[in-house]
Amino acid sequence: MREIVVFSGSAHTELAEQICSDLGVPLSPVEVHRFSNDCLQVQLQANCRQRDVYIVQPLVPPTQDHLMELLLMIDAARGASAAQITAVIPHYAYARSDKKDASRISIGGRLVADMLTTAGANRVLTMALHAPQVHGFFSVPVDHLTAIGVLADHFRGRDLSDTVVVSPDLGNAKTATQFARLLGVPVAAGSKQRLADDRVIIDAIVGEVAGKRAIVLDDEIATGGSIIELLDRLKDQGCTSAAVACTHGLFAGPAVERLRSHPSITEVISTDTVPRPLGFPELETTSVAGLFAEAIKRIHDGESVSSLFDGVDPTHAPPQPKLPF
């Protein structure tokens, strides 16, 4: 059996260290050097020859620097004769650029996928893509993990009577429905219209929320504009309070101040796919390092990754029997 070698870029070394701890392997060192002309150079400090190489790097700000680091590390591993290279990208930022919804714009999600495979990635391991169709942008296998089971564990054991799971938009309603089924509570969703990156309007709530406590579930929170707009609409319709849960807690710009000061919020929880923000001591985090470690182990051993989510996510269910003709 080939050895596992794990490297990390500078984006989130704490997560990479925890993944390695769960795997029982050391985190191999990487040297990143920035030249005077602002170009980056990467050198992997461990033998890669005929080994399975896993490179951990979420695409978080400064996103372009971290993307370039990842591409250079993949290229270095390929040049060092790695047997297989897996890009472990807990947060794939360019999943938000998934379609051409205006004239003369690029589809960044597909472009970055092409760059990763051109650099030499043989496989991608990621979590909670903003748009599921981004999975199809890759010409190499993609293992797409979900955190809804981990987030649901945070709320289990509580009194969830008069509780409803709420999605900020209809696009995330399917995931919210799966999450609500895990907790045995109803689901609702906002009807959202995005005006700009940090400006949205929610003109309706689909579902019954009056007199209920909400668990607002989103895949990613950046500036928090969608969440605050949703919370205001929920309050207008008689919702008593809200917990906020997300997979990728970026909390950029005014997000921390917005969430800390909103009177409806009882708690905010996210996973550790991205580094914890500064100045947000109330934020609760739950780790997905164990999920990534188990997925890496199963990839290395040639076992099923989808079976990790048996009973959690129906999209990972066994193949359906063929229809009779």
Over the stretch 237-266, which tens digit does the pLDDT of each residue have? 999 999 999 999 999 999 999 999 999 999
- Does position 72 have pLDDT exceeding 80, yes or no? yes
The pLDDT-based confidence of 191 (bands split at 50, 70, 90) is confident
Helix axes 108-119, 63-79, angle to 10 degrees: 30
What does the pLDDT average to over 71-86? Answer: 98
Could you tell me the end-to-end alpha-carbon distance of the chain, in angstroms, rounded to an integer?
44
Question: Is-contact 146 135, C-beta < 8 A?
Answer: no
The CA distances from residue 219 to 60, 92, 146, 222, in Å, are 15, 12, 10, 10
**Active site amino acids:** 192
Bridge-partner residues for 220, per DSSP? 248
Chain centroid offset of residue 107 CA: 19
Structure tokens at 273: 């796919």
Structure tokens at 277: 């923000």
- What pLDDT is attached to residue 263? 95
- What pLDDT is attached to residue 7? 98
- pTM (2 decimals)? 0.93
The pLDDT-based confidence of 2 (bands split at 50, 70, 90) is confident
3-state secondary structure of 29: coil
The pLDDT-based confidence of 314 (bands split at 50, 70, 90) is low
The pLDDT-based confidence of 310 (bands split at 50, 70, 90) is confident
Bridge-partner residues for 221, per DSSP? 249
- What pLDDT is attached to residue 98? 85
CA distance 133 to 109: 10
CB-based contacts of 59, cutoff 8 Å, min separation 6: 11, 66, 67, 70, 89, 91, 92, 93, 94
For residue 282, the tally of other CB atoms under 10 A from its CB is: 10
Question: Is-contact 176 187, C-beta < 8 A?
Answer: yes
For residue 135, the number of C-alpha atoms closer than 13 Å in the C-beta half-sphere is 14
Residue that is written with structure tokens 């895990």 in the block: 182
The pLDDT-based confidence of 322 (bands split at 50, 70, 90) is low
Question: Is-contact 242 231, C-beta < 8 A?
Answer: yes
